[in-house]
Amino acid sequence: MSLVANVIEASGIPTLLIGTVRDIVERVKPPRAVCIDNPVGRTFGRPRAPRRRESLLAEALGLAHSFKRKGQIIDIPGNWTDRPGASWQDMVRREILRLPRR
Amino acid sequence: MALDYLPILAERAAPKPPRKLRRTPRIAWQPLAKPLNEMRVSIVTSAAIRQTNQRAFTAGGDTSHRRIAANPDVEITVDHHSPVGAHIRMDAEVAFPRHALTALAAKGVVGSVAQAHFSIYGGVSDHDAITGTLAPELARRLASMRVDLALMVPY
């Protein structure tokens, strides 16, 4: 996605990447990136939570003018609420490694 | 602290090496020309989402794209075969916030929503096709809609 963002940006259209995988975004260098501390594939939080999602999107978009240099990443907290006894970090690891759920 | 995904992806790929990440040779930069509440915004998702009446994406190197009408009532389907796909199939807004963006435009937070959003299949390793064909075509289509900000949401 970073390659695509850079081509679009180079064509004259500003881009804002909103992602979750911080360590990968650091490597691939999109022009502007907001990283949300939510699980990958669920950038804007849990399903069927429209108000919280809208608030998070507004927060990320509101940072568009805050970037001081190309390649900058701005981090914001996520809105994911863990189920008791199951962190989302563990959930994501199990999903990616195709391990059974706890 | 943010979760480190690279070690998990390396563990998944083992004993093969993990998928190569392609770092852009040069970071592009186009200054924002308008305040947010005057910007026309379009979403570009890599979740392989399409209008249900469009041709399906295929796994394993699909470098095509789909134009998704901005009308949030248009029925969509998620084709991406990611192992993290359980939630997006319940509610695509978790990674393709078209309703949320429409709501923010109605409240005047953003200027407007463009006529359409775009979708690609993320994780494709044919970088030459992405930079040589796919991304320029997306740029052309975004420019034709006079988009002020492309909201890139990787999946």
Q: Under DSSP, is residue A19 helix (H, G, I), strand (E, B) or coil?
A: strand
Q: CB of B145 within 8 A of CB of B42? A: yes
Distance CA A59, CA A86 (A): 27
A70, B27: Cβ pair inside 8 Å? Answer: yes
Calculate the CA B68 to chain-centre distance: 11
Distance from CA of B53 to the nearest CA of A (A): 24
Question: Residue ranges of the domains in chain B?
Answer: 47-153
Distance CA A58, CA B104 (A): 7
B143, A11: Cβ pair inside 8 Å? Answer: yes
Rg (CA), chain A: 15
Instruction: Give the number of other CB atoms < 10 A from CB of residue A86.
Output: 12
Mean pLDDT of chain B: 95
Instruction: Give the number of other CB atoms < 10 A from CB of residue A102.
Output: 10
Chain A to chain B Cβ contacts (< 8 Å): 213
| Higher local confidence (pLDDT), B124 or A33 | A33
- What is the per-residue pLDDT for A102? 64
Q: Note the pLDDT tens digit of each residue in A41-82.
A: 999 999 999 999 999 999 999 999 999 999 999 999 999 988
Q: Note the pLDDT tens digit of each residue in B41-50.
A: 999 999 999 9
| Angle (nearest 5°) at CA B99 between B94 and B103 | 125
Tokens of B45: 């998702």
B152, A62: Cβ pair inside 8 Å? Answer: no
Interface test with B, best of A13, A42, A89, A97 (most B CBs within 10 A): A13
